[in-house]
Amino acid sequence: MGENQKQWSCKGTILLQCLILMFILKTVSAQLHYSIPEEMQKGSFVGNIAKDLGMDGNNLSNRELRILTRTGMIQYFTLNYNSGHLQTTERIDREEICAWAEKCKLNFQVIVESKRKLYGVEVEVTDINDNAPHFPPGQLEVKINEISVKGSRFPLPDATDPDLGINSVQNYQLTGSVHFSLDVQTGENGPKHAELVLEKSLDREEQSVYDLILMAMDGGDPVRTGTAQIQVIVLDVNDNAPIFSQPVYEISIEENIPKGSIVCAVKATDLDEGINGEVKYSFKKTTKKDSQMFLLNSTTGIITLMGNLDFETSPFYEFEVQAEDFGGLFDRAKVEIMVTDLNDNAPELTVTFLTNSIQENSSTGTVIAIINVEDQDSGINSEVTCTIPRNLPFQLKQSIDNFYSLVTDGPLDREQVANYNITITVTDHGMPSLSTATIIALHILDTNDNPPHFARSDYKSFFMENNQRGASIFSLNANDPDWEENSRITYSIIESQETGSPLSSYLSINSETGVIYALSSFDYEEIREMKFLVKAQDGGSPPLSSNVSVTLFILDQNDNAPQILYPSPPTDGSTGIELAPRSSEPGYLVTKVVAVDADSGQNAWLSYQLIKATEPGLFTLGLHTGEIRTARFFLEKDALKQSLVVLVKDNGQPSMSASVTVTVVLADSIPDMLTDLSSVPVSEDPQSDLTFYLVTAVAFVSCLFFTFLLVLLALKLRRWKNSQLCDSASLNFSGAPVSQFVGIDGVRAFLQSYCHEVSLTSGSRKSQILFPIGSCTNTLTPQQAPDKTGPVLLIGDTNTVTEEAAIHQKTISIQISDINDNPPAFETSSYTAYVPENNPSGASIFHVKASDPDLDRNARITYSILNSNIKDLPLSSYVSINSETGIIYAQRSFDYEQFREFQIQVKAQDGGSPPLNSSATVTVCVLDRNDNAPHILYPSQSTEGSPFFEMVPRSAESGYLVTKVVAVDADSGHNAWLSFHLLQATEPSLFSIGSHTGEVQTVRALLERDAVKQRLVIMVKDNGHPPLSATTTLSLVFAENFQEALPEMNSRPNDSEYQSDLQFYLVLALTLVSFLFLVTVILTILMKLRRSRNPTFLQCFIPDLHSKAGAIFPPNYEDGTLPYSYQVCLSSESRRNELTFLQPTVQIAENILCNGNSDIPLMVSGCNLNSEKENDSTVSYIAFSFLGN
pLDDT of residue 925: 92
249: closest CA among 301, 299, 311? 301
Spatial contact of 731 and 749, defined as CB atoms under 8 Å apart: no
388/349 Cα distance (integer angstroms):
13
Contacts of 3 (CB under 8 A, 6+ apart): none
Contacts of 187 (CB under 8 A, 6+ apart): 193
Our measurement of the distance from residue 159's CA atom to the centroid of its chain's CA atoms, rounded to an integer in Å, reads 79
pLDDT of residue 815: 79
Spatial contact of 207 and 294, defined as CB atoms under 8 Å apart: no
> ω into residue 191 within 30 of 0, thus cis?
no
| Overall residue count recorded for the chain in this entry | 1189
Contacts of 660 (CB under 8 A, 6+ apart): 564, 567, 569, 576, 593, 645, 646, 648
838/898 Cα distance (integer angstroms):
12
What are the φ/ψ torsions at residue 1117 (nearest 5 degrees)?
Answer: -70, 100
Is 1178 exposed, middle or buried, given 0-12, 13-18 or 19+ CB atoms closer than 10 A? middle
169/186 Cα distance (integer angstroms):
11
Helices and strands in the chain: count of H runs, count of E runs: 9, 81
Spatial contact of 469 and 518, defined as CB atoms under 8 Å apart: yes
pLDDT of residue 500: 67
Residue-wise pLDDT for 194-251, tens only, equals 888 988 888 877 888 999 898 888 888 888 898 888 888 887 677 778 999 999 999 9
Other C-beta atoms within 10 Å of 880: how many?
22
Bridging pattern class, strands 248-254 and 330-340: parallel
pLDDT of residue 570: 58
Instruction: Map residue 854 onto helix, strand or coil.
Output: coil
pLDDT of residue 850: 94
In this structure, which amino acid lies at residue 411? P
Spatial contact of 949 and 1047, defined as CB atoms under 8 Å apart: no
Between helices 687-718 and 720-728, what is the axis angle to 10°? 70
What are the φ/ψ torsions at residue 1092 (nearest 5 degrees)?
Answer: -80, 5
pLDDT of residue 30: 59
Structure letter (DSSP) for residue 620 = E
35: closest CA among 119, 111, 124? 124
pLDDT of residue 246: 92
Torsion-angle region of 470 (φ positive above 0: left; ψ -120 to 50: alpha; else: beta): left
Residue-wise pLDDT for 1021-1066, tens only, equals 998 888 999 999 888 888 876 556 656 555 444 445 556 677 788 8
Instruction: Map residue 31 onto helix, strand or coil.
Output: strand
Contacts of 28 (CB under 8 A, 6+ apart): none
395/402 Cα distance (integer angstroms):
16
Q: Which helix (H) or strand (E) element contains residue 212? A: strand 209-218
The DSSP secondary structure of 1126-1174, one letter per residue, reads ------TT----EEE-PPP-SPPPTTTS-SS-----EEEETTEEEESS-
Q: Which helix (H) or strand (E) element contains residue 813? A: strand 811-815
What's this model's pTM, rounded to 2 decimal places?
0.40
pLDDT-flagged residues of the chain (< 50): 1-10, 18, 20-29, 572, 574, 678, 680-685, 726, 728-807, 943-946, 1051-1055, 1094-1189
Of the chain, the percentage scoring pLDDT greater than 70 comes to 76
Of the chain, the percentage scoring pLDDT greater than 90 comes to 24
Q: Count the alpha carbons within 13 Å of 109 in the hemisphere toward its beta carbon.
A: 21
Q: How far is CA 290 from CA 99, 169, 285, 312, 550, in A?
A: 14, 22, 10, 16, 93
310/313 Cα distance (integer angstroms):
5
What are the φ/ψ torsions at residue 501 (nearest 5 degrees)?
Answer: -115, 150
493: closest CA among 471, 467, 517? 517
Other C-beta atoms within 10 Å of 318: how many?
14
> ω into residue 542 within 30 of 0, thus cis?
yes
961/976 Cα distance (integer angstroms):
25
Structure letter (DSSP) for residue 1026 = S
Q: Which helix (H) or strand (E) element contains residue 336? A: strand 330-340
474: closest CA among 422, 534, 514, 501? 514
What are the φ/ψ torsions at residue 2 (nearest 5 degrees)?
Answer: -65, -35
Q: How far is CA 832 from CA 829, 847, 867, 896, in A?
A: 11, 11, 19, 16
Bridging pattern class, strands 294-296 and 262-265: unpaired
Spatial contact of 781 and 1166, defined as CB atoms under 8 Å apart: yes
Handedness of CA 851, 857, 860, 864 (dihedral sign): negative
Q: How far apart are the first and last CA of the chain?
A: 110
Spatial contact of 109 and 53, defined as CB atoms under 8 Å apart: no
